[in-house]
Structure 1
Amino acid sequence: MAEFRVIETRAAFESAVEQLSAGTGPIAVDAERASGFRYSQRAYLIQMYRRDAGTFLFDPPAIGDFAPLEDVIAQEEWVLHAASQDLACLREVGLDPSTIFDTELAARLLGMPRVGLASVVEELLGIKLAKEHSAADWSTRPLPQSWLTYAALDVELLVDVRDLLVERLAEKSKDGIAAQEFESVLHKEAKPAAAEPWRRLSGVHGIRHARNLAVARSLWVARDARAVELDVAPGRLIPDASIVAVARSLPRTKRALADLREFTGRASRSEIDRWWSAVEDGLATTELPAIRVPSDAPPPPRAWASRHPDADARLRLAKQAVADKAEALVMPVENLLTPDHLRRVAWRPPADTSERGIREALAALGARAWQLDATAQIISVAFVEAEQSVEDASASAS
């Protein structure tokens, strides 16, 4: 088995750039982060493969400036699996493709039953990939050879997978659809930072009192600041469940905090003074958070039937129509149309519910042209049927 070396010196990097420049065809790209271990989502290993060039494993922290590589490959097609997961950390080091082929997304559009890289490789190439290091701490140095072998295999087969998917997409007349989806992924804007990121605490939505929320907020802020300082994943200090448990119980002394059985985590006792100070701040603040945050999102659909039967009927009938269309096209319904888009137009339909009006409403939400062609007319018909069904039900009741 070949032994892989990490490219971490300028000389080795420049040599790799030359070899990749001389290669042929698309470039397979992957990145490994240290999610769950480090605070940042930076790449700690970037893998590339190109025919007639070979496989290259780059150490981003050691290399720093990737501009010479970007200059020679930016205009080539990059092949990634689940590109949306890696584009941000690649762009962080200055690697930004102009064209991509997303093998995971292509597999979804083709209706393949399993779309993880190992499953796609096995179905298309008959090769089994081991995934034992997928959740490893890639900030580890030096990286073990077994990890490097795993990382190399993630890109060495990707171009072959891409070629077979291109053929299947053309056979199913889905190549144009795929091109639109790849462009959408490539140019999708990053979500703006949340105004109150502490509200993403798992379990915090079950807290109904402002003082308890203030304690949760204070502990989250203290944990986040310490996590940034140490460059460690926040949950490795104290987990979300511990913060929520403290916020629910509102301990009144440091001793009571330390005695709380649900207050766990590797730093829960070693940094008890830090956490108690945060609890005190939360207990004392006069700037209490709102219990509910205004949102333009529709309420949960389970509540529509009794309070908003018209919206419930629109969603129910349109959802079934879109599901039937997805089945006919042999692809997951969420790839045919983003479920949130359908919920929003069902909850607050445009004044014009003709096919044209539905197209405009969905396009404003970000639906692609092929999605509009496939769904706008059937949603319009479903809305008409929904209106009639509500009228019939009202007439029967009276």
Structure 2
Amino acid sequence: MTDARTADQRIDPDSGLPILAMPRDGLPVVVDTAEALSECIRELGDGTGPLAIDTERAQSFHYSAKAYLLQFRRADAGTWLIDPEAFEPSPGADADFTALREATSSAEWIIHAATQDLPCLVEDGLWPTSLFDTELAGRLLGLPRVGLGPLVEKYFGLHLLKEHSAADWSTRPLPQDWIAYAALDVELLVELRDLLEEELDKAGKLEWAHQEFDHLVEVYRTPAPPRVEPWRRTNGIHAVRSRRGLALVRALWTHRDQLALDLDKAPGKIVQDKAITELAATITKDNHKVPGPREMDTVMGFHHRLAKRYREHWLEACHEVAGLPAADLPSLQVAHDGPPQPRSWQRSRPEAWKHWQQVRPAANALAAELSMPPENLVSPDALRRLVWDPLPSVDAQAISERLAEHDVRPWQRTLLSPVLSAALRAE
């Protein structure tokens, strides 16, 4: 391919492929005025065919997972980059993109890895009525590498630079090479979508893909509810073995989270998870003395610049936990809204354990036969829920009905139910 995008003829030394260096239409401007936004909306609304979309975030730098740049491309409209912050009525307030949503609502949206981009798009008041996820299409096809770069290499023989993927996209003004990078992320999505759709159709998987895409549209139409006890996701928490130790994780996490919100910084930039759990793990019993300044000084993570600056917050958290009565300490057991991990089933739920040993290998074998990752055939959670409670019957219909209760799509149930029924009938 030789056009404006590869005019400089640079070659990637690792792949030996020409580098996708410049958008075919040149660098787009960043839309940051009301007049430019009106023109952008008009052009995208008048465009034809599907709409390619991407976002750029800055989660490694800022507290929020919001988008700091929105990228769009559509036939007969070209590429447009929008700065969402320029349209916020006040810092942190949501911009009003109602007109943009209405202008593009009839178009199929093409997103690579939609689960990453849809949450921040919905936050900006933008959501699709129809979707094509190029990453998910690659997974259903069983492709070994489904990142946008590898797919561009496979289908277009071009190398897509990804050196700015972890950049601080809140930076203004954006450097020109960043603008090129952002525009190139949507440059070939329409063409890629068409090629993947053709392969899905040939493989007999196109209807499967449509059901998956429709499911994503439905799931991500509204913002996700806040997590229950989000502090339990702190990395390294498995090493904390006492309830008072968990209380210290909770207190340190809460102080850090409020600081991160106030400072608009990624929590890990203030103090890392590892430091929190390492300090909390020193409490080996619920009545053990809570660590103080001396113990904190032995944890390297509390020596970093911002961690030292806010040292009084960590010491305050320790003081709070020292005074907690036993009744206020968190449980060692995580509250589940579904089955626990199967490793604990053998003694507590032997029948479920037996069925798990039958259905899991059968599902994995079917996924291999269909050339796709097992989790794209059926989520591990749905498979666990299938066998956790006794089934009224192990015939295919009963299994299909149980799977339907847990969001398993019709194409998955059609394929899985007879296979799992046969596995459960086998001795």
2:374 maps to amino acid = V
Provide the C-alpha distance between the structure 1 equivalents of 2:331 and 2:69, rounded to a whole number of angstroms.
Answer: 42
Q: Give the secondary-structure state (helix, strand or coil) at the position aligned to 2:67.
A: coil
Give yes or no for the alignment of 1:350 onto 2:381.
no
Which string of whole-angstrom CA distances, capped at 9 and with x for unpartnered residues, describes residues 175-230 of structure 1? 11111000011111555322211111111132121222222111111000000111
Which string of whole-angstrom CA distances, capped at 9 and with x for unpartnered residues, describes residues 83-119 of structure 1? 1111111111111111111111111111111110111
Which of 200, 211, 232 pairs up with 1:180? Answer: 211
1:172 maps to amino acid = A
Spell out the pairing of 1:142-161 with structure 2 (5 A cutoff): 142-161=173-192
Which of 225, 231, 234 pairs up with 1:198? Answer: 231
1:53 maps to amino acid = A
1:80 maps to amino acid = I
Deviation at 1:296, TM superposition (A): 4.3
Provide the C-alpha distance between the structure 2 equivalents of 1:284 and 1:308, rounded to a whole number of angstroms.
Answer: 38
Deviation at 1:158, TM superposition (A): 0.3
CA contact 1:36–1:233 (8 Å) conserved in 2: yes
Aligned twin of 2:257 = 224
Which string of whole-angstrom CA distances, capped at 9 and with x for unpartnered residues, describes residues 133-178 of structure 1? 1111111111111111111111010000011111111112211111
Deviation at 1:241, TM superposition (A): 0.8
CA contact 1:21–1:72 (8 Å) conserved in 2: yes
Structure 2 gap ranges (5+): 1-21, 88-94, 284-289
Provide the C-alpha distance between the structure 2 equivalents of 1:328 and 1:291, rounded to a whole number of angstroms.
Answer: 41
Which of 168, 173, 177 pairs up with 1:137? Answer: 168
1:314 maps to amino acid = H
Give yes or no for the alignment of 1:379 onto 2:412.
no
The runs of 4+ residues in structure 1 deviating greater than 6 Å are none
1:175 maps to amino acid = L
Please report the TM-score for the alignment, with normalisation by the length of structure 2. Answer: 0.86
CA contact 2:279–2:295 (8 Å) conserved in 1: no
- Structure 1 residues 133 and 262: alpha-carbon distance in aligned structure 2, compared to 1, 3 A threshold: closer
Between stretches 369-378 and 251-260, larger displacement belongs to: 251-260
Between stretches 93-102 and 263-272, larger displacement belongs to: 263-272
Q: Give the secondary-structure state (helix, strand or coil) at the position aligned to 1:292.
A: coil
2:319 maps to amino acid = E
CA contact 1:90–1:96 (8 Å) conserved in 2: yes
**What's the C-alpha RMSD, in Å, of the aligned pairs?**
1.8
CA contact 2:292–2:318 (8 Å) conserved in 1: no
Spell out the pairing of 1:97-108 with structure 2 (5 A cutoff): 97-108=128-139
Q: Give the secondary-structure state (helix, strand or coil) at the position aligned to 1:44.
A: strand
Which of 122, 129, 139 pairs up with 1:91? Answer: 122
Please report the TM-score for the alignment, with normalisation by the length of structure 1. Answer: 0.92
- Structure 1 residues 91 and 294: alpha-carbon distance in aligned structure 2, compared to 1, 3 A threshold: closer
CA contact 2:271–2:301 (8 Å) conserved in 1: no
Give yes or no for the alignment of 1:339 onto 2:380.
yes
Aligned twin of 1:267 = 306
Provide the C-alpha distance between the structure 2 equivalents of 1:94 and 1:191, rounded to a whole number of angstroms.
Answer: 14
Deviation at 1:308, TM superposition (A): 4.9
Which of 51, 74, 84 pairs up with 2:105? Answer: 74
Q: Give the secondary-structure state (helix, strand or coil) at the position aligned to 1:86.
A: helix
Give yes or no for the alignment of 1:238 onto 2:271.
yes
Aligned twin of 1:168 = 199
Deviation at 1:74, TM superposition (A): 1.1
2:308 maps to amino acid = R
Q: How many residues align?
A: 386
Aligned twin of 1:284 = 323
